[in-house]
């Protein structure tokens, strides 16, 4: 990216500055002080205003201690300061990532020791297509010049640095010191809450979030996090009460309806989820988000025609390449669920064509990781192997958490159990060295369950799937546990796991197929036929060579004789 020596002249000037400063008492609204200021140097004006503000707030003057001028805190280079403020404005107000990067790069080029600008550039670069690959350099520059920022801001930059380097023990140390010195610092408390959430420290996170709510009662975000913590503790009534409180207090915040709908879906309350999503659609009728979630819900509960109509409508309404690409990815999911693998791959190819017009090669490579599993389920193993190599080349990084699971699946399909176990060991090492979030751990535990199931270690497979469920209770893990337990001969436990899969996705054809085998083993032929019929309703138009549907058709024919 070319870096101009100064910001383009077409941008607004900072010459037009406020002249009057009034300080009011929060208790009764009375005027505590009023002064008049004039000038063209924003930072000098702020320094000038700080004296009247401190007097109005009755902050005592300390002998021998002088405030550090803002120019020293930020930069002595006026053009760098101006570029910084314009970059932050474009990022925060207009969400213009590329424009913000241009200005913040200008600011840091004009003054490499401009700490806050370097940190702001890091944060904006993380939102770009290159992401963490290019965001580290300005963060390192910020670390090298921490003396230019206040102590509390320095703690924040240190914490961010250790997060990026994966030194989680040092993150915890820095945040503990930060909160200890500044117990009312909302930034510190929010980072502490994020760490506690990531570590599953639910009681601690509830205490931290309660303090955040006390300090900032107008912020609705802690309510959502508290609800999730209560749900994780099994306090479902408290969780629902908090989600309900959020949508009542912040009726215009669509994220509350998303969270409430997700909660209802996890509890198997699909009609309540539908009501929440319909409210979200009423708030954002032109958004793809809630309409897509409603189509997903229809697919999960077996309203297949409504689901297909919803996905088709999203594709028809898409007005940009990015919107069409997203709509095609959702349509892929629909065809994949129904065993229409040729149509699923056709949708993938159409999506890739759309993405080639706007995505970077790296972003496209990341987006193709999920496609690998579709090719494997379609029986196109050689193409999956080729695609995995293309993804790795596009990422230009060693084995990462993004491709770890796909690598295991490809190894299992192409080379067998031994190769899959070796790939799994490498994937686990990559996860431990980098991102160790619970969802990624759960994925690899589920993958290990598949490997053990293929190796006929059914007890071990059930153990792996149940460990995955403990981290991320998803239908595929319940289904895997049910299959492994059935094969191990634990029929009651197998049925309990499969019932949980149905609670989450009532029309899951794979779960119905597994339940049919379980019912047959028990001698309940009528129950087996019923579940096979449910599976084949979803797989009604599945490809002739789609193996699960072939298996269901053959078993139904056998039991119907």
Q: What CATH number should be reported for the domain holding residue 335?
A: 1.25.40
Is 221 inside a domain boundary? Answer: no
Measure the CA–CA gap between 230 and 205, rounded to whole angstroms. 10
Provide the domain limits for residue 301: 286-359
Is 331 inside a domain boundary? Answer: yes
pLDDT at residue 238, as a whole number: 97
Q: What angle do CA 436, 438, 441 make, to 5 degrees?
A: 70
* 110, 83 contact by CB (below 8 A): yes
Q: Which residues of the chain have pLDDT under 50?
A: 1-15, 435-436
Domain count, the chain: 1
Three-state SS for 317-338 is: HCCCHHHHHHHHHHHHHHHHHC
SS3 call for 339: coil
pLDDT at residue 65, as a whole number: 54
| Residue 220 DSSP code | -
* 327, 314 contact by CB (below 8 A): yes
DSSP code string of 237-263: HHHHHHHHHHHHH-TT-HHHHHHHHHH
Q: What angle do CA 226, 227, 231 make, to 5 degrees?
A: 115
SS3 call for 36: strand
Is 343 inside a domain boundary? Answer: yes
Alpha helices by DSSP H, listed for 182-216, are 186-198, 202-215
Is 327 inside a domain boundary? Answer: yes
- From 44, 49, 48, select the one nearest 15 (Cα to Cα): 44
Nearest 5°: phi and psi at 435? -80, 120
Write the CB contacts of 449 (distance below 8 Å, at least 6 apart in sequence): 461, 462, 463, 464, 465, 468, 477, 480, 481, 484
pLDDT at residue 327, as a whole number: 97
Measure the CA–CA gap between 352 and 346, rounded to whole angstroms. 10
Measure the CA–CA gap between 106 and 329, rounded to whole angstroms. 38
CA distances (Å), 480 to each of 53, 316, 435, 475, 503, in order?
64, 36, 25, 9, 15
Is 312 inside a domain boundary? Answer: yes
Q: What angle do CA 481, 483, 487 make, to 5 degrees?
A: 115
Measure the CA–CA gap between 204 and 529, rounded to whole angstroms. 49
pLDDT at residue 166, as a whole number: 78
Q: What angle do CA 2, 6, 10 make, to 5 degrees?
A: 100
Is 291 inside a domain boundary? Answer: yes
CA 137, distance to chain mean position in Å, is 24
Is 167 inside a domain boundary? Answer: no
CA distances (Å), 229 to each of 73, 92, 223, 271, 415, in order?
39, 29, 10, 23, 42
SS3 call for 126: coil
Q: Among all chains, which residue has been given the structure tokens 């028990």?
A: 522
Instruction: For the chain, give percent helix, strand, coil, nearest 5.
Output: 70, 0, 25
| Residue 148 DSSP code | G
Quick one: CA torsion of 191, 192, 193, 197, rounded to 10 degrees?
Answer: 100
CA distances (Å), 381 to each of 48, 332, 417, in order?
70, 18, 15
Question: pTM of the full predicted structure?
Answer: 0.78
Measure the CA–CA gap between 109 and 126, rounded to whole angstroms. 19
Is 439 inside a domain boundary? Answer: no
Measure the CA–CA gap between 436 and 417, rounded to whole angstroms. 25
pLDDT at residue 10, as a whole number: 37
Measure the CA–CA gap between 52 and 58, rounded to whole angstroms. 10
Segment (H or E) for 549 = helix 547-559
pLDDT digits (tens, 9 = 90+) for 125-164: 988 766 666 789 999 999 999 988 888 999 999 999 998 8
Total residue count of the chain as it appears in this document: 561
SS3 call for 255: helix
Write the CB contacts of 181 (distance below 8 Å, at least 6 apart in sequence): 151, 152, 155
């Amino acid at each position: 990216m070319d870096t101009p020596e100064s910001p383009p002249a077409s941008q607004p000037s900072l010459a037009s500055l406020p002249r009057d400063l009034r300080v009011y008492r929060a208790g009764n609204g009375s005027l505590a002080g009023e002064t008049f200021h004039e000038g063209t140097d924003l930072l000098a004006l702020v320094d000038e205003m700080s004296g009247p503000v401190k007097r109005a707030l009755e902050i005592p003057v300390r002998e021998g201690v002088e405030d550090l001028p803002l120019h020293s805190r930020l930069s002595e280079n006026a053009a760098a300061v101006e570029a910084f403020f314009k970059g932050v404005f474009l990022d925060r107000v207009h969400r213009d990532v590329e424009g913000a990067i241009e200005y913040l790069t200008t600011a840091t080029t004009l003054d490499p020791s401009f700490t806050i600008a370097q940190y702001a550039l890091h944060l904006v670069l993380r939102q770009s297509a290159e992401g963490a690959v290019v965001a580290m350099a300005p963060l390192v520059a910020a670390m090298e010049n921490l003396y230019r920022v206040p102590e509390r801001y320095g703690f924040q930059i240190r914490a961010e640095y250790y997060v990026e380097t994966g030194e989680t023990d040092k993150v915890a140390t820095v945040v503990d010191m930060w909160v200890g010195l500044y117990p009312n610092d909302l930034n510190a408390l929010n980072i502490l809450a994020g760490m506690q959430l990531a570590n599953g420290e639910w009681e601690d996170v509830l205490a931290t979030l309660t303090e955040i709510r006390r300090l900032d009662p107008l912020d609705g975000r802690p309510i959502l996090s508290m609800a999730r913590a209560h749900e994780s503790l099994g306090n479902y009534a408290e969780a629902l009460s908090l989600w309900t409180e959020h949508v009542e207090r912040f009726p215009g915040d669509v994220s509350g309806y998303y969270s409430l709908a997700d909660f209802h879906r996890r509890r198997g309350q699909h009609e309540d989820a539908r009501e929440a999503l319909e409210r979200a659609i009423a708030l954002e009728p032109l958004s793809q988000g809630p309409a897509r979630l409603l189509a997903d819900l229809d697919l999960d509960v077996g309203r297949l025609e409504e689901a297909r109509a919803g996905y088709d409508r999203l594709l028809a309404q898409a007005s940009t390449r990015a919107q069409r690409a997203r709509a095609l990815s959702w349509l892929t999911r629909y065809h994949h669920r129904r065993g229409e693998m040729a149509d699923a791959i056709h949708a993938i190819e159409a999506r890739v064509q759309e993405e080639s017009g706007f995505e970077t090669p790296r972003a496209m490579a990341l987006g193709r990781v999920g496609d690998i599993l579709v090719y494997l389920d379609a029986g196109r193993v050689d193409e999956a192997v080729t695609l995995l190599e293309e993804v790795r080349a596009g990422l230009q990084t060693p084995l990462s958490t993004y491709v770890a699971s796909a690598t295991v699946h490809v190894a299992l399909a192409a080379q067998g159990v031994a190769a899959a176990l070796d790939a799994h060991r490498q994937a686990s090492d990559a996860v431990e060295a980098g991102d160790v979030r619970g969802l990624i751990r759960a994925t690899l535990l589920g993958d290990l369950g598949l490997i053990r199931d293929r190796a006929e270690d059914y007890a071990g497979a059930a153990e792996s799937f149940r460990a995955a469920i403990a981290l991320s209770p998803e239908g595929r893990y319940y289904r895997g546990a049910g299959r492994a337990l059935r094969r191990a001969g634990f029929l009651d436990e197998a049925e309990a796991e499969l019932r949980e899969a149905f609670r989450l996705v009532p029309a899951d054809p794979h779960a119905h197929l597994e339940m049919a085998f379980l019912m047959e083993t028990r001698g309940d032929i009528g129950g087996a036929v019923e579940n096979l019929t449910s599976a084949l309703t979803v797989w009604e138009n599945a490809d002739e060579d789609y193996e699960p549907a072939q298996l269901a058709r053959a078993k139904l024919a056998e039991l119907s004789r």
